[in-house]
Amino acid sequence: MEPYKHSCPFCGQHIEYTVEYCGKQVVCPSCGKTVTFPAIPPGRGRGTTHVKALEPGRVKGEAGRAPLRNRPKALSFLRDFEHWKVVWQCAVPFLVIGMLLAGAAFVKKKFSDSPALVAPSTVQADPQAWQRMADLNKAERAVRDLLKVVQADHAVVVAAQRARQQSEQGNAAVKKSFEEQAQLAQTTFSDARKRLDVALDKYQTLGGTVDYRSQVPNN
């Protein structure tokens, strides 16, 4: 399968990709920003294919006329062309490479004793890295959801313990009821805490760096 190269618009890093990744996004390994691959790879959006698709809606009743006979209409066609963005995305890598080569040639000519500039290395887009990133995001969402549950259950435990303390002066039946509620709240909190610990271990195994454990309330 023919590989293509796309340049990061933020740092100029070259990223190699194949046709099945057209239109998809990847995190630039150099600057960490999101880069979108062109929807149409270089060289496939040219020729007569798109011109023929546009002619029925652009030029009605003018079949058989040469496109260059009327210059204003030709300019109007160029102005109304709908795929300039795609053309620009395809042309950016070549412009960047051309500027790098021109800069290297200038430096070599200007300073013959100095080494020529080295173009940024090409990084192969790794599909497994995307999957690991997706798994990490999923694990982090699970940690955040469980952290909210644990914090809510802890608030219930605190409220139940206060109610139990205030019922010390009441009769035995009331004290027993509040004691059972406090024990149930503590059990629910402990179960949620265990699930959160498992989710945190998985998140850290996948490479998570946020310290969510510091946000977990104590017993």
33-75 pLDDT, tens digit each: 888 888 887 766 443 333 333 333 443 444 444 444 445 555 5
Proportion of the chain above pLDDT 90, given as a percent: 21
Asked if 45 contacts 90 with a C-beta cutoff of 8 angstroms, the reply is yes
Q: What is the pLDDT of residue 172?
A: 79
User: pLDDT of 81-107, one tens digit each?
Assistant: 566 666 666 667 777 787 888 877 777
Q: What is the pLDDT of residue 188?
A: 94
Calculate the average pLDDT of the chain.
76
Statement: residue 145 has pLDDT above 70: yes
Residues contacting 200, CB < 8 A, separation 6+: 143, 212, 213
Q: How confident is the model at residue 123 (pLDDT cuts 50, 70, 90)?
A: low
Q: Which residue has the higher pLDDT, 66 or 209?
A: 209
| Amino acid residing at 35 | V
Asked if 135 contacts 26 with a C-beta cutoff of 8 angstroms, the reply is no
Residues contacting 206, CB < 8 A, separation 6+: 132, 135, 136, 139
Domain positions in the chain are 4-45+83-124, 127-215
Residue owning tokens 């004793």: 113
pTM: 0.42
Instruction: Taking residues 138-150, report their average pLDDT.
Output: 94
